[in-house]
Amino acid sequence: MRGALKPGKEERKIREPQTRGRGRLVVALAVAAVVAAALAPGALAHSVLLGTEPGNDTVVQEAPEEVSLRFNEPVEMSLGGIRVYDGQGNRVDADQVEPSRGSEVAVGIEGDLAPGTYTVAWRAISADSDPISGAFVFHVQERGVQPTGISIDSLTGTSTTVDVFFTGGRFFDFALLLLTVGGAAVLVIALPSAAWSVRRRLYGVLAGLAAALAVVALLNIFLQGAAAGGLGLLDAFRWNVFTTVLETRYGEMMLVQAALAATLALTAMALRHSEGRDRRALAALTLALGFGMSLTPSLSGHASTAGNLAMAADVAHVIAAALWTGGLGFVVVALTLARDDRWPLATRTVPRFSNMAVVSVAALLVAGAINGYLQVRTWSALWETEYGLLLLAKIALVVPLLGLGAYNNRYAVPRLRAGLASVLERRRFLQAAGVELVIMVAVVAVTAVLVNAEPARTEAMMGDMAMEEAAMEPAAGDHEPFESEVDLGGTMAHVVVDPATPGENSVHLSFEQSDAEEFTEVSVSASLPSEEIGPLAFPAEPVQGQPGEYVAEGASLSLPGEWELRIEALVGEFDLLTETITVPIGEE
């Protein structure tokens, strides 16, 4: 009986690890949403414009001496600025923003502003280092014409070419950063037993990637100037643009990143020619340089102003993502270069990298949970905002990525460690690793777009502010009405036009009851001489139960302007009392 039971026990021993493996896979898939938020550097929030002075679309009786903007956090204005245009498209601002950095900035006005409408366009660099812009209008004493020949998009937008290069620069910067930091780490941790010929070539690859990162970081300084200043692509490559960007936190960090990457390239080249010498000091230097570079995205973004928790989470997810993605890339290249020694090398290297990847995923879980909460805050923001939809796209890419990693860690790695993997299993391992790298490239591409999108919680904040403003604004029928007193041949009438805006209006007439008893008919008509409209007749009906009250419903004063309202009251059969008043109908 004992002998008969042994196969059953063995069978359970085999099945139980498989069951646990499936459970781990399910758990990995369930946390994909959290990991997606942490696969590459991300921004926590764009700065939000809280208010302006003068306010948007407000009429001020006295010309302002300056135009000010108030944000929820400090912004950089040195690359952008605040421009004010009159109705002819001429600038009337002093072209000097004070202060150039802060949560409240202002530009002075040159001279006295004449009555009319003025357009304000502004550009700034947000606390997360992304360019932001906007525009609004205000009116002095009366509403006038908008600037001719100037569109809001031309004042605040950027060219498609600049947008493409700006996003591409972010993509290559992220990708190269992950590869260099991960490659430097995996050469020290997972590949010390590789043949010198393989490591020598890998050091050359690392040097080339680090040199490319240094170039891209410098180019991104110019591209940041183009996007923030609304410049053309060729106009951005000027020394004054470069030096101006260097005055910002993003410019400083990109210059530091370029210097560290260049130093790493030189260190890698020194390691490439260090055969037969002690390489421990140079190897440690590559790790230090990689760690320094992994700090630059967080120090140049919103995390640097969002508190210690956000900063720690941001740095952790950059390092963890680099160890996973960049490390995998170097392991695959090393196995490819090893040729005949490929699978013996895999038995030594893959288990070490697998342990490193597990630690990285654990760090990504924690950092992703923190960043996911800070960026989104609500479930509905995932499908109601552009940022949320991009984040869902990352999740869709990460699900198969984690599935492949879980499969390799559960099945391929143990067999490679034991040297039991068949030719087919080895081929599948390399194919799976290749697919992982392709998906990782796609994730980084989505991230490059994601960091330039307005984060979900910022978009939600803007929506809440818009709702609050809408609640404070009067509804279509609640605008301030026009009121006036009219003398019709000794009979006083109180006239109310409600609302005093273009569209459907009602005209209310109130007479003294004793005088109104003699009226046999009351009517009104309206004309707009500036547009050669009218007269439009609107019969006034008596209000039931309110003697002396008349109302003309559906009086359509459809255009803004100075309308002439003619009031007629017939007394008996032949006496007609008339009076004409001017009713200003403003824009909605």
Domain housing 257: 31-42+160-465
Task: Tell me: do 404 and 505 sit in the same domain.
Answer: no
Which helix H or strand E contains 322, and what residues bound it? Answer: none
For residue 281, tell me if it sits in a domain: yes
The pLDDT-based confidence of 326 (bands split at 50, 70, 90) is: confident
CA–CA separation, 140 vs 121, rounded Å?
Answer: 17
Alpha helices in 451-501 (DSSP H): 456-472
Q: What is the tens place of the pLDDT at every residue in 262-297?
A: 999 999 999 998 876 777 899 899 999 999 998 998
Point out the domain boundary residue: 436, 465, 494. Answer: 465
Q: What is the tens place of the pLDDT at every residue in 137-174?
A: 888 888 776 665 555 555 666 678 888 888 888 888 98
For residue 22, tell me if it sits in a domain: no
* Residue 512 CB partners (closer than 8 Å, separation 6+): 491, 492, 548
For residue 473, tell me if it sits in a domain: no
Extract the tokens encoding 69. Answer: 């903007």
In the chain, the percentage of residues whose pLDDT exceeds 90 is: 12
Output the pLDDT for position 177: 92
CA–CA separation, 413 vs 347, rounded Å?
Answer: 8
**Could you give phi then psi for residue 343, rounded to 5 degrees?**
-80, -35
Output the pLDDT for position 206: 94
Q: Quick one: which of 547, 485, 499, 505 has its CA closest to 522?
A: 547
Task: Tell me: do 176 and 133 sit in the same domain.
Answer: no
Output the pLDDT for position 346: 75
Q: What is the tens place of the pLDDT at every residue in 401-442?
A: 666 666 666 666 666 666 655 666 666 666 666 677 677 677
Mean of the pLDDT values across residues 558-568? 83
Alpha helices in 31-68 (DSSP H): 32-36
CA–CA separation, 77 vs 100, rounded Å?
Answer: 5
CA–CA separation, 570 vs 575, rounded Å?
Answer: 6
With the CA atoms of 236, 237, 239 and 240 taken in that order, what torsion angle do they form, in degrees rounded to the nearest 10? -10
Task: Tell me: do 147 and 164 sit in the same domain.
Answer: no
CA–CA separation, 494 vs 510, rounded Å?
Answer: 5
Taking 60 as the threshold, does the pLDDT of residue 118 lie above it? Answer: yes
Q: What is the tens place of the pLDDT at every residue in 18-35?
A: 444 444 433 433 433 333
Strands 59-60 and 131-140 come out as parallel
CA–CA separation, 291 vs 322, rounded Å?
Answer: 10
Its pTM surpasses 0.75: no
Output the pLDDT for position 588: 46
Task: Tell me: do 61 and 35 sit in the same domain.
Answer: no
Taking 80 as the threshold, does the pLDDT of residue 96 lie above it? Answer: yes
Domain count, the chain: 3
**Range with lowest mean pLDDT among 30-39, 169-178, 330-339, 446-455:** 30-39
Task: Tell me: do 282 and 429 sit in the same domain.
Answer: yes
**Range with lowest mean pLDDT among 99-103, 197-201, 353-357:** 353-357
Task: Tell me: do 195 and 118 sit in the same domain.
Answer: no
Q: What is the tens place of the pLDDT at every residue in 172-219?
A: 898 899 889 999 998 988 888 888 888 899 999 999 999 999 999 999
The pLDDT-based confidence of 319 (bands split at 50, 70, 90) is: confident
Task: Tell me: do 529 and 437 sit in the same domain.
Answer: no
Residue 292, CB-side half-sphere exposure with 13 Å CA sphere = 19
CA–CA separation, 106 vs 82, rounded Å?
Answer: 8
Task: Tell me: do 417 and 496 sit in the same domain.
Answer: no
Task: Tell me: do 405 and 459 sit in the same domain.
Answer: yes
Output the pLDDT for position 387: 65
Output the pLDDT for position 180: 94
CA–CA separation, 346 vs 508, rounded Å?
Answer: 90
For residue 315, tell me if it sits in a domain: yes
Let me know if 235 is exposed, middle or buried by CB neighbors in 10 A (0-12, 13-18, 19+): middle
- CATH number of the domain within which 115 lies: 2.60.40.1220
Task: Tell me: do 419 and 550 sit in the same domain.
Answer: no
Task: Tell me: do 357 and 408 sit in the same domain.
Answer: yes
For residue 203, tell me if it sits in a domain: yes
For residue 15, tell me if it sits in a domain: no
Q: How many CB atoms lie within 10 A of CB 407?
A: 17
- Directed axis angle between helix 342-375 and helix 327-338, to 10°? 170
For residue 331, tell me if it sits in a domain: yes
Average pLDDT, the chain: 75
Output the pLDDT for position 181: 93
Point out the domain boundary residue: 433, 465, 497. Answer: 465
Reading phi first (left if > 0) and then psi (alpha if -120 to 50, else beta), residue 505 is in: beta
Extract the tokens encoding 157. Answer: 């937008």
- CATH number of the domain within which 499 lies: 2.60.40.1930
For the chain, what percentages of helix, strand and coil (3-state, to nearest 5) are there? 55, 25, 20
Task: Tell me: do 89 and 172 sit in the same domain.
Answer: no
Point out the domain boundary residue: 403, 434, 465. Answer: 465
For residue 137, tell me if it sits in a domain: yes
| Greatest C-alpha distance within the chain | 126
Q: What is the tens place of the pLDDT at every residue in 470-517?
A: 444 444 444 578 888 888 777 788 888 888 887 777 888 887 766 666
Q: Decide: 328 and 436 in contact? Cβ < 8 Å.
A: yes
Q: What is the tens place of the pLDDT at every residue in 534-544?
A: 777 777 888 77
